[in-house]
Each structure stands twice: as structure tokens, then as C-alpha cells.
A and B are shown apart, each in its own frame.
Chain A
């Protein structure tokens, strides 16, 4: 199994540009999330989805959009990149529910906004 696949691995954007970070999973997981990781701050939840067609905001949603048209894919869109969005972005998926176990993470996208 491929697990969770994120593309691209690295990206440099200019302030104001837009882009989409791709995330795909092949485990038929209902639940998918996007996190950003910044030094000393752990992982902060951006958006999450509990199934196709259902998304909701996490702790730090401003400046980001998501959609979930299929179970497999959960892209994250940066609408107008800002230097504050320089970070490492992780997509994660899991089965839904209290006893469902932990996440499977992608390998991350390192984004730099200049």
C-alpha cells in the first residue's frame, strides 16, 4: 500500500501566489486532516474531513481552503500565500471513531513563501 501520498515535497512561492497541496490515501480512511508544523509549536490542525463532501475548520484555518470530493483525495489550497504560511504541512488519515486507532501521516510538504 502506498499509504498517504503528499505532493509536492518542496515548494517555494512568492507572496500572493496561490497553490494546491495534494494529498491522497489508498486505505479507505474516512477521516483526513491537514496540519502545519512550526518549530516549538507542535502540529496545529488546519482543516479536517470526516468523509466525502464534509469538511470543517481546525485551529488555524485562515488563508486555506479544502474540499473532499472523493474518499481518497483531500487537497489543501493556499489562496494568496503569505510569509506566515512558511511551514511544513502534513496530511494524515485514519478510520473514524473513538477506538479507530491513530493516524497515518504523509511525508510532508515543506513550503517557503518569499
Chain B
């Protein structure tokens, strides 16, 4: 079945550092790919998405490119802020368009 694997955390960075959180997936067909962010005590919020190969999703300085050849969707940000501290989830929605599968989440701490 479909699955999502993302790097284990926590990831600790200093403010203004470069961020990469790796995400790879296994799926049949052409899934849609997502990154969600969860701040403490809140529900998940959609951060960005990509629906086909080579698409780049972007939002709030975060970017991720849908790489079908490597089945990856790595999240990047050029300069993190303390306010980016949160848990980040990679997810895919399968070709049938019904179920969404989530990775285990990666906690990010950004120090001032």
C-alpha cells in the first residue's frame, strides 16, 4: 500500500539557518503530495502542495518539488525563524483521490 517516510527529528537549527526535511513516498500511479505544519496545541494546517511530477509547491518561504524519479518531496526553507518551530508532516493522497496517508512527523526547533 501507499506509504510516506520522513526524516526523524527533532531537528534543531539556529535562526537564519537553511532547513531541509526529507520525505520519500511509495505509491502507485500519480499521487498528490502535501506538507502540513502543526503548531503546539493546534490542528494541522496545509503548508504547500504539488499535484504532478516536477511541480513546485511554495508558501511562507517554504518550498518542495515533486520528484517522481526519486519518489521524493523534500521540504526546504532558506532562512528559518523561531516562529517556524513546529511539527512538519509529509502526506500523500493516492490516485483514487480518497485516502490521505501521513508520515510520522518531524519536529523542528529553531533557536534565537
**Which chain A residues have a beta carbon within 8 Å of chain B's beta carbons?**
4, 31, 33, 35, 40-43, 45, 48, 50, 58, 90, 92, 96-108
Known: A31-B98, A98-B51. A103 touches B46 (CB 8 A): yes
Known: A42-B89, A101-B49. A33 touches B43 (CB 8 A): no
Residue of A nearest to B4 (CB): A42
Known: A98-B93, A99-B51. A42 touches B46 (CB 8 A): no
Min distance, Cβ B91 to any Cβ of chain A, angstroms: 8
Interface: B14 (CB within 8 A): no
Contacts of A45 in B (CB 8 A): 99-101
Could you tell me if A106 and B98 are in contact, using CB atoms closer than 8 angstroms? no
Min distance, Cβ A63 to any Cβ of chain B, angstroms: 20
Contacts of A50 in B (CB 8 A): 98
Contacts of B45 in A (CB 8 A): 105
Given contacts A45-B101, A96-B98, A104-B46, 9 further A-B contacts (CB under 8 A): A40-B104, A42-B89, A43-B44, A43-B89, A92-B44, A102-B49, A102-B93, A105-B36, A107-B43
Residue of B42, B51, B93, B105 touching A42 (CB-CB under 8 A): B105
Bound-state CA distance A35–B101 (Å) is 10
Residue of A nearest to B52 (CB): A99
Could you tell me if B43 and A97 are in contact, using CB atoms closer than 8 angstroms? no
Min distance, Cβ B60 to any Cβ of chain A, angstroms: 15
Residue of A40, A98, A104, A105 touching B97 (CB-CB under 8 A): A98
Contacts of B51 in A (CB 8 A): 98-99
Q: List 28 A-B contacts (CB under 8 A).
A: A4-B43, A33-B100, A35-B102, A42-B103, A43-B89, A45-B99, A48-B99, A50-B98, A90-B44, A98-B32, A98-B95, A98-B97, A99-B32, A99-B51, A100-B97, A101-B49, A102-B34, A102-B36, A102-B93, A102-B100, A103-B36, A103-B44, A103-B46, A104-B46, A105-B44, A106-B43, A108-B42, A108-B43
